[in-house]
Amino acid sequence: MLRERGLPTNQSHPPLADGILGSYNFWNDYQRKATTQAFMLRDRDTIVVAFRGTEPFDTYAWCLDLDLSWYELPGVGKIHRGYMKALGLRKNFSWPKELAPRLKTPVPSAYYAIKEKLRSLAVHGETWLMERLEGVYTFGQPRVGDDKFGEFMERAFKDHRIDYFRSVIGDDIVPRLPYDDSASMFKHFGRCCYFNSKYQGKIVREEPNKNYFSLLRAIPMMMDTWYKLIRSFVIAREKGPSYREGWLMRIFRAIGLLIPGVPAHFPQDYVNSARLGASQLFPHQQ
């Protein structure tokens, strides 16, 4: 699935072992505490960096998803304020210093929700890492910038030959925030890997019902929510015991009858889509 870009034949450091390399807590200068978690793992010549996204009961993080404020960077575009904070922006508008490069292994990146964009390191010139970044995979990410920012990111990915995959499940509300309308400048960029409630995927430019609130979609969304609730009781028999959903997930499925689109943002559906739908969507990468 990931192309090998040539490992160095003469390393001054001992090779890293396969498996989990470490887990980390990253400081948020605005909240005065560590709010971003990540872990790194290695599988042969591949290093994966995965960031945890919005916690279900983190009201501050959900408010950031709904926040419409932004910063503007010359030559880059207008960028969501929450993204800039997650990336490491300090209160004095400076950036933390980065470690010097030493690894030459390709690095794919996975992130979830607003912290997903942390690997878009072209924003502050991490050229050495961009050259080793193999792919960026996001799951339920909100909109993060304007058209100009989208063009900047697409150009950076193309220049460094980085694959970018933005996954969206059904009526997940988070990828449809902040709104994309005449009063808002937020836009998605790149292609979207859209999966329906049966985990059947297709490549589209924009997910259906891009702004979530639609009278035409109200009844289909409710029917889809009922289907997912019923499926949670039978999916283990249909797909195997590893797909079993617990009572907590079923409770959230039921809550979806009141607020459709919220349960779809939970990791359960995104993990299932990767296991059941990705092989059909990307057969050449299996």
Q: CB 110: neighbour CB atoms within 10 A?
A: 19
Gap between the Cα atoms of 21 and 2, Å rounded: 19
Q: Which residues pair with 34 in a beta bridge?
A: 27
Answer yes or no: is pLDDT of 83 > 80.
no
Could you say which DSSP state residue 87 is in? H
Gap between the Cα atoms of 188 and 207, Å rounded: 10
**Which whole-number Å values give the CA distances from 263 to 19, 170, 187, 224, in the listed order?**
31, 10, 23, 11
Written as six digits, the tokens of 21 are 């390399």
Answer yes or no: is pLDDT of 79 > 60.
yes
Structure confidence at residue 226 (pLDDT)? 96
Structure confidence at residue 77 (pLDDT)? 87
- Between 58 and 2, name the one with better pLDDT: 58
- Between 104 and 57, name the one with better pLDDT: 57
Answer yes or no: is pLDDT of 246 > 80.
yes
Question: Would you say the C-alpha torsion 273, 277, 281, 282 has a positive or negative sign?
Answer: positive
β-strand pairing of 33-43 with 46-51: antiparallel
Q: Which residues pair with 194 in a beta bridge?
A: 168, 202
The Cα angle at residue 276 between residues 261 and 267, in degrees rounded to 5: 40
Written as six digits, the tokens of 153 are 């990111």
Direct distance between the N- and C-terminal alpha carbons of the chain, in angstroms, rounded to an integer = 6
User: Which of 178, 171, 168 lies closest to 62, judged by CA?
Assistant: 178
- Note the pLDDT tens digit of each residue in 180-196: 877 778 899 988 999 99
Mean pLDDT over all residues of the chain? 78
Answer yes or no: is pLDDT of 70 > 60.
yes
pLDDT band at 271 (very low <50, low <70, confident <90, very high): very high
The residue type at 116: E
Answer yes or no: is pLDDT of 33 > 90.
no
Report whether 53 contacts 35 (CB < 8 A): no
Answer yes or no: is pLDDT of 168 > 60.
yes
- Note the pLDDT tens digit of each residue in 90-142: 666 665 555 445 545 554 554 443 334 434 444 455 667 777 788 888 999 88
How is the chain split into domains, by residue range?
19-212
**Domain 19-212: CATH class, spelled out:** alpha beta
pTM over 0.75: yes
**The CA-based dihedral angle spanning residues 73, 93, 164, 59, taken in that order and rounded to the nearest 10 degrees:** -120
In the chain, the percentage of residues whose pLDDT exceeds 70 is: 74
